[in-house]
Structure 1
Amino acid sequence: MTITATISSLGHKGEGIVEIDGRKIFVPLALPGETVRLDVEGDRGGLVEVLAPSPERIDPFCRHFGACGGCQLQHLSGPAYEAFKIALVETPLLLAGIKASVSRFIPAGGTGRRRATLHARREGAGYMRLKSHQVHDLDACPILDPALSRAPAIARAIGTALGEADVSFTATLSGLDVAIRTARKQARPEKLVPLATRFGLARLALNGEMVLQAQAPLVEMGRARVELPIGSFLQATAAAEEALAAYVLAAVEPARSVADLFCGVGPFALRLAEKRPVFAADSDRNAVAALDRARRFAKGLKPITAKARDLFRDPLTRFELDYDAVVLDPPRAGAEAQTRELALSGVKTIVMIACDASSFARDAAILTAAGYGLSDLVAFDQFVQSTHVEIAATFKSPSN
């Protein structure tokens, strides 16, 4: 069914919303206030034509926008884009009963994303098409760091050698770190060695196993250099890691002891240890081992005690949380079990970093219900042109 309608609002996934006969229709690439012609199927609307564009509509900077699903917001002007991202943070908090305003919106795209996963399929290599399971073949991606400029070509070459695969790239000081995932049982790693040499890769791994390492993939974190484990987590941009670390360091002053929970490879712990002892824990044993190695070779750091511990199933209890400050940077699921223990601990300062606004709001509500005050709520825009946002907030105990 083809209809003409006016878009009423923008949903949290960046899609225009129009109400027809009391039901919501979601229209990718449409903006609030626009009169559009669209094809409707179920609760989805395919944009056919913009009859009256919004004053907030701008020309996208990438010719793949609208077909490639990697970006959702390139057509939205700067002020409206910022307001949309801020609402992504504030709205879930309000729904959780917390009225809080973002104090700062920090652009953190830097030189582009240093991490990306491209899909190699029969139709090419790139991100999935908008609302599709088909891949949009890319020749270039302007939201990536220049060090990843050859990523589409490398992913295509890997697809030719192995068949269908997901190819993750990380730009490091030593070159590109490439990790391949494929369901093909007959995948032959020896086919990949010439590709690693041809593209000058620092490291190449297949299904979690090393195929070739020309150089250890290294990243700098404060005074330390960390050798990344295969498939380890890293903030999407170097600029975001620096900005988040600066926030954390300022928020915990003048704490004399700090616990860094969900520490990963140590982007916060290694910087925090420049001034005070740090306890660091994460369920990822390889990440904890990498942090510990980096700590041993870095100069001028206070002691770091790094432990592998599943903080979802075995959180630090209120009796173990004998620290002046605690930093949490959990994955998308949040840190509910650990937050419940923190709420009973009396820790003076809790700094929470989050990549999912809903789980953040849930965990923040646990702390505020225990009397903790939320302050300095900041949005970091490292996932530029997408509907994701990084969040940082400080919680102070009632006794402060």
Structure 2
Amino acid sequence: MSEQQEEVAKDRTAVELFAGGGGLAMAVQNAGFRPLLFNEVARWACETLAVKADRVPPKQRPPIPEPGQRPPLVEGDIQKLDMSYLADAGVDVLAGGPPCQPFSLGGIAKGDEDKRNMFPQMFKAIRQIRPKAVICENVRGLLRPSFAPYFEYILRELELPFEEREPESTWQEHDATLRERIEQAKTDPKKRYVVRAIPVNAADYGVPQIRHRVIIVAFRSDLPVDMDAFEDSVKRTEYSETALIRSMLGLGEDDYWGRHPNIPDHVRQRVLARLPETPPADDGKKPWRTLRDAIAGVCAGGKALPPITDDLLDRTDHDLGGFTDHIGWPDARIYDGHTPNELDRPAKTVKAGVHGVPGGESVMLLDERVRDKSAPDGWRYKHRYMTVRETARVMTFPDEVKLAGPRGEQMRQLGNAVPVLLGEVFAKAVAAALDKAENCK
């Protein structure tokens, strides 16, 4: 009888830049990548990361951790960070979400001229580290027609990151050079990447939130990665609005109202009244997860969060069920352009805020209602701010993750993060693509 050797799991490694509160970092680790380095500049995000990482003193070269050791955390400006010591470490994945304010619909939208544009630092890191793959998340604003030429330039820079831009040249001049080099196709395969940009809605991946983003993935071109197969794998989403509508109409095996039997009838009727009269055809997918699902623990298979009643809206931690940061906050308002989240829909996009007002839109409509003569039907639904823990669940952060800082800074970390579940889908697909490519070599 022939001996069968047990397959040894690969020691996959990752570097995380612009790590923030750790959403993408958790996703990459959940996919089996061991972190070699975290970098972040924001004070409170660093405090959050420091729970599972070791700070490196300024100007000291970070150590390369062995399996089982805590990764180093370099706190500070990435422009001052030299990562060339990792060139021979065989880094599998470089992951990060460069600050998105230059491209966000809610930001100033100065585009490539904005000093907060950190894409050049991603390209510098690629030159220094030479990772096998890159995962980069950013806002959908990158895809706006007004930014299309510059976004295409970003993708070409990622394809040829070793073709550095001259300090005095414009991006248009550098883009012309890149186009010429790409057409020549003479670049060393280890210095060239194959790139795909994939628009996503996090709700389609089981995240209880409407969050439109673009995920950019690149593989080093010396690796025989089947890019079409990779893209197909991450685009085959499991969740849909169609399936949510059908579950609310009592069609199929997933009964939304059966999952939430204590919803008041007037809420149920309000939700059903806006559904289409003709049921959509079955698409074979699972229902979008809703804010109510997140609070009830359906998404993560956890416990339901205790309710926040009016008497708990006092900024005080009442230790409700032992959940951290499940704290009521007073004075939530609804006004034009500031509409609330509804429990029976995926939450609106969690935002980091503009001009220092993080989480300003995190208001939710409740099941309770009160008489109001000014309302069309004589009733007004009550509302309140979402707690940090509820918002963390919407971002699919595990309940055990404690975010550092005051409420505003916690919400800022969440608004800047990648939903863990969304990032995990892409990180697992990257790991699978690398495994297949390396087995073919």
Q: Per the shorter chain, which TM-score range? A: under 0.3
Larger strand share, 1 or 2: 1
Structure scoring higher RCO (CA < 8 A, sep ≥ 6) equals: 2
Larger helix share, 1 or 2: 2
